[in-house]
Amino acid sequence: MDELDPVIHTAARLRITATLAAIASGDRMSFPRLQELLDMTAGNLSTHVRKLEDAGYVTVTKTHQGRTPVTYLELSKTGRRAFEDYTETLRSVLGELP
């Protein structure tokens, strides 16, 4: 299992990348919506998003709607490719199991 990307392999980060990969390339999701879908606390989600952002897998955009700050998340091209590689590797590993 050494060939699985350790940045994605953590359960919470796998859930985040899988959810963001399910939306079209170039689309984004608000932080509260992702938090709701994954049933994660804001702090826990922030911690994992930061690791994905540091790896270049997630792009974080902070903006405002009126006076309200809004944070949007999307998989970068690098993140989408890393997730595709991760799922291919996982299929390969699972295919080798008896």
- Residue ranges with strand state E in the chain: 29-30, 58-65, 68-75
In the Cβ-directed half-sphere of 87, how many Cα atoms lie within 13 Å? 10
- Residue type for 65, please? Q
Query: Would you say residue 88 lies in a domain?
Result: yes
Query: What span, in angstroms and rounded, lies between the C-alpha atoms of 92 and 10?
Result: 19
Q: How high is the pLDDT of residue 19? A: 98
Query: Domain containing 43: what range?
Result: 6-92
pTM: 0.90
pLDDT band at 1 (very low <50, low <70, confident <90, very high): low
Query: Would you say residue 51 lies in a domain?
Result: yes
Query: What span, in angstroms and rounded, lies between the C-alpha atoms of 86 and 81?
Result: 8
DSSP-assigned beta bridge partners for residue 65: 68
Give the pLDDT confidence of 11-44 residue by residue, as tens digits: 999 999 999 999 999 999 999 999 999 999 999 9
Query: Would you say residue 36 lies in a domain?
Result: yes
Q: How high is the pLDDT of residue 17? A: 98
Query: Would you say residue 1 lies in a domain?
Result: no
- Residue type for 63, please? T
Query: Would you say residue 98 lies in a domain?
Result: no
Give the pLDDT confidence of 65-97 residue by residue, as tens digits: 899 999 999 999 999 999 999 999 998 888 866
Work out how many domains the chain is built from and give that number: 1
Query: Would you say residue 82 lies in a domain?
Result: yes
CATH code of the domain covering residue 52 = 1.10.10.10
